[in-house]
Amino acid sequence: MSILARIKAFLGMEAEPEKEASKEEVEKVAEEKAKPRIGYIHLSGCTGDVMSLSENYDILAELLTNLVDIVYGQTLVDRWDVPEMDLALIEGSVCLQDEHSLHELMEVREKAAMVCAFGSCAATGCFTRYSRGGQQAQPAHESFVPIADLVKVDCAIPGCPPSPEIIAKTVVALINGDMDYLQPMIDLAGYTEACGCDLQSKVVNQALCIGCGTCAMACQTRALDMNAGRPELNKDRCVKCGICYVQCPRSWWPAEQINKDLGL
């Protein structure tokens, strides 16, 4: 079984087993289809997203070594200039008082074919939205915004942090050119304001809530409880990661993709 087939099987992305390819076929595909060039950019955040990526223990070595080409990253590549790349995974919000981060973000947008807001800090601002400055490390840094406030974002992987599985599946979908799988993340691009209130205004108030409790289970700060079959928000605990709304089955319903993943 090919490397890609093994990874897809591990992630449950294949409904049917893939036919074993000959060595000649593998070499031909390798010549015709270059590995996607991926860059990792860390701005203002906790590095939890890249830690989640590293938790793909069973497939990480093959994924990063044989399927993609890591061309840029402060901790992954010994390189200071920003090269051309197919996908830029940008973690963290951007500080408006940090000239270096602003310059790097703009340059990455120029060099990357696709920019992904990697994690909720990059996508929505998450807990950095509460910053007022005065913190010990950089007291002058007080204004943090999602990257889509400054540059065009092509897709977003929200989560605080995103799960290892969704990160791996996103990379594999990019390798396959599977835009159907990436469509929900593309639709989330530029959606920079998110919190538990979205469930009330966009799901409950629209008579869409089915009381499944997925939002409460997905909340990583336990800011949501189920009361009388409906989500109830504790605003003091909400960090504005937006994962509750993203995980709600009534916020996105791609029937074709669901049937494809289940082999129906």
Q: pTM for this one? A: 0.76
Contact between 131 and 144 under an 8 Å Cβ cutoff? The reply is yes
Pairing of strands 94-95, 69-73: unpaired
Q: Which residue has the tokens 């995974």?
A: 89
Could you tell me the end-to-end alpha-carbon distance of the chain, in angstroms, rounded to an integer? 23
CA angle 94, 47, 122 (to 5 degrees): 35
- Count CA atoms closer than 13 A to 179's CA, side-chain side: 4
Q: Where is average pLDDT lowest: 9-18, 32-41, 96-105? A: 9-18
Asked whether the predicted pLDDT for residue 81 surpasses 60, the reply is yes
Q: Which of 150, 224, 151, 146 is nearest to 191 (CA)?
A: 146
- DSSP H/E element including 220: none
Q: Are 40 and 76 in contact (CB under 8 A)?
A: yes
Local confidence band at 226 (pLDDT 50, 70, 90 cut-offs): very high
Write the pLDDT tens digit of every residue in 101-159: 999 999 999 999 989 999 889 998 888 888 888 877 788 888 999 999 999 999 898 88
Q: Which among 227, 233, 238 is positioned nearest to 199, based on CA atoms?
A: 233
* Torsions phi, psi for 15 (to 5 deg): -75, -30
Q: Look at residue 15 in the predicted model and tell me its pLDDT.
A: 46
In terms of pLDDT, which residue wins out, 187 or 62?
Answer: 187
| Domain range summary for the chain, segments of one domain joined by + | 3-188, 197-262
Measured CA to CA, the distance from residue 165 to residue 186 in angstroms comes to 18
Look-up: residue for tokens 């994924």?
63
The candidate with the shortest Cα–Cα distance to 53, out of 154, 163, 159, is: 163
Strand partners, 145: 94
Overall fold of domain 3-188: Rossmann fold (3.40.50)
pLDDT at residue 57, rounded to an integer: 66
- At the top level of CATH, which class does the domain 197-262 belong to? alpha beta
Q: How many residues does the chain have?
A: 264
Would 3-188 and 197-262 be classified into the same CATH topology?
A: no
Q: b/e map of 151-173 (b: 16 or more CB within 10 Å)?
A: bebbbbbbbbbbebebbbbbbbb
Q: Express each pLDDT in 168-216 by its tens digit.
A: 888 778 777 788 888 888 888 877 877 888 888 888 898 889 999 999 9
Q: What is each CA distance from 126 to 46, 174, 181, in whole angstroms?
A: 11, 25, 25
